């Protein structure tokens, strides 16, 4: 290559690098847009519905129901995404996939997966709601069990272990809560008792060991967070995929007593069209944020269901979900800000 050729070649490389960086930068999200499409690193809308978030070192892993179009209808899938800033998410694949575990029929259900990191055993334990029709009973949600799977890394692969009824009770929507001391709890809705359990997991997390509390309120989508020494529980009414006014209660101890439930947002907004799934606490150097992680379901086009993530106004026994608008978070400082 002559001198001119070399110069041209270098210039082409420079242009390519510039373009690559510029495109890369353009793809960097600097905000969270509640209820909008939320593209992952490949530009596909994130598929992590009814999800849960597990932090390992400085990385957040978001697990949820994979509902993209074109999936093999014999299987149910759990997706995983990772992020260091909660705004940009990298698709890590479908980390769990299985066929009907208990002969439940074509419409069997896997919903609301949550993953627990067991520091002692170094395993990752996935809980999920498993359901389907039971002979002689009505509807597709009569099996009412949890399923458990295990993996060696946050990105799996996860291997199925079994399904069971936690503490012998019916279990539909599940939620996850890790207390500040690291204790792990499964939240599960139990229709016969008209309430939801907060139950401690066994030491290896493979079983549900004992009830800490049964909150006698007919609520699903249960989520708990501890903030400034007080526990806050959120739940949604039993209205299938339709949004309703989600409510919260507080307690000084996880075992209760729990306060009366109150609306988290103006009731006429039906929680701004969303349903509670999880509360994520981000403890930063300057402040602590609690993020309301909710689903805006589209039951007929589930792949297009959206997410409503908003920082909650929380403290002194009060909790309020602000009107959704674009916002950002600095996970290092814990500060959040609305974008005008």
Residues in contact with ligand DGJ by CB under 6 A are 50, 111-112, 173, 220-221, 240-241, 275
CA-based torsion, 255, 276, 111, 138: positive or negative = positive
Residue nearest to ligand DGJ (CB): 240
Instruction: Give the nearer residue to ligand DGJ in terms of CB position, either 224 or 331.
Output: 224
The tokens for 235 are 């739940």
Q: Name the minimum Å distance from CB 112 to ligand DGJ.
A: 6
Burial of 138 (0-12, 13-18, 19+ CB in 10 A): exposed
Q: Name the minimum Å distance from CB 260 to ligand DGJ.
A: 22
Q: Which residues contact 123 (CB under 8 A, 6 or more apart)?
A: 150, 151, 152, 204, 205
Q: Name the minimum Å distance from CB 132 to ligand DGJ.
A: 12
Q: Name the minimum Å distance from CB 288 to ligand DGJ.
A: 27
Instruction: Give the nearer residue to ligand DGJ in terms of CB position, either 111 or 170.
Output: 111
* DSSP-derived secondary structure for 80-115: EEEESSSSS-EEEEEEEEEE-SS---TT-EEEEEEE
Q: Could you tell me if 185 and 177 are in contact, meaning their C-beta atoms sit under 8 angstroms apart?
A: yes
* DSSP-derived secondary structure for 279-338: EEEEE-SS-EEEEEEEEE--GGGGGG-EEEEEE-EEETTEEE-PPP--EEEETTTTEEEE
Q: Could you tell me if 203 and 185 are in contact, meaning their C-beta atoms sit under 8 angstroms apart?
A: no
Distance (Å, whole) CA 190 – CA 218: 8
Q: Name the minimum Å distance from CB 292 to ligand DGJ.
A: 15
Q: Is 229 left (phi over 0), alpha (psi -120 to 50) or beta?
A: left
Distance (Å, whole) CA 271 – CA 160: 35
Instruction: Give the nearer residue to ligand DGJ in terms of CB position, either 112 or 226.
Output: 112
Instruction: Give the nearer residue to ligand DGJ in terms of CB position, either 130 or 254.
Output: 130
Q: Give the length of the chain.
A: 340
Instruction: Give the nearer residue to ligand DGJ in terms of CB position, either 112 or 197.
Output: 112
Q: What is the C-alpha R_g of the chain?
A: 21
The tokens for 178 are 């890790």
Instruction: Give the nearer residue to ligand DGJ in terms of CB position, either 11 or 241.
Output: 241
Task: Give me the residues paired with residue 329 across strands.
Answer: 336
Instruction: Give the nearer residue to ligand DGJ in terms of CB position, either 305 or 336.
Output: 305
Instruction: Give the nearer residue to ligand DGJ in terms of CB position, either 132 or 154.
Output: 132
Q: Name the minimum Å distance from CB 142 to ligand DGJ.
A: 13
Q: Name the minimum Å distance from CB 130 to ligand DGJ.
A: 11
Instruction: Give the nearer residue to ligand DGJ in terms of CB position, either 219 or 314.
Output: 219
Tokens 């300057």 identify what position? Answer: 286
Q: Name the minimum Å distance from CB 88 to ligand DGJ.
A: 26
Distance (Å, whole) CA 94 – CA 115: 14
Q: Name the minimum Å distance from CB 63 to ligand DGJ.
A: 14
């Amino acid at each position: 290559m002559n001198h001119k050729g070399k110069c041209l070649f270098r210039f082409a490389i420079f242009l390519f690098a510039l373009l690559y960086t510029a495109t890369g930068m353009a793809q960097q999200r600097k905000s969270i847009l509640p209820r909008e499409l939320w593209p992952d690193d490949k530009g596909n809308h994130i598929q992590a519905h009814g999800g849960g978030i597990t932090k390992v070192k400085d990385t957040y892993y978001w697990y949820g129901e994979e509902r993209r179009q074109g999936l093999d209808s014999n299987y149910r899938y759990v997706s995983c995404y990772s992020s260091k800033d909660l705004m940009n998410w990298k698709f890590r694949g479908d980390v769990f996939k299985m066929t009907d575990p208990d002969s439940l029929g074509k419409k069997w259900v896997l919903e609301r997966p949550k993953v627990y990191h067991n520091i002692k055993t170094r395993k990752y334990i996935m809980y999920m709601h498993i359901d389907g029709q039971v002979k002689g009973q009505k509807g597709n949600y009569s099996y009412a069990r949890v399923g458990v799977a295990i993996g060696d890394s946050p990105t799996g692969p996860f291997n199925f272990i079994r399904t069971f009824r936690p503490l012998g009770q019916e279990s539909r929507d599940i939620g996850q809560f890790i207390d500040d001391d690291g204790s792990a709890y499964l939240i599960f809705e139990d229709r016969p008792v008209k309430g939801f359990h907060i139950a401690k997991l066994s030491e290896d997390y493979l079983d549900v060991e004992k009830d800490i509390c049964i909150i006698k309120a007919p609520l699903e989508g249960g989520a708990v967070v501890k903030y400034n020494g007080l526990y806050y529980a959120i739940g949604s009414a039993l209205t299938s995929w339709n949004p309703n006014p989600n409510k919260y209660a507080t307690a000084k101890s996880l075992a209760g007593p729990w306060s009366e439930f109150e609306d988290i947002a103006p009731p006429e907004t039906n929680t701004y069209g969303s349903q509670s799934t999880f509360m994520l606490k981000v403890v930063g150097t300057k402040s602590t944020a609690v993020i309301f992680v909710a689903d805006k379901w589209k039951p007929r086009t589930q792949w297009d269901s959206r997410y409503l993530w908003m920082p909650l106004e929380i403290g002194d026994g009060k909790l309020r979900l602000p009107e959704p608008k674009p916002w950002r978070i600095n996970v290092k400082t814990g500060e959040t800000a609305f974008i005008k």
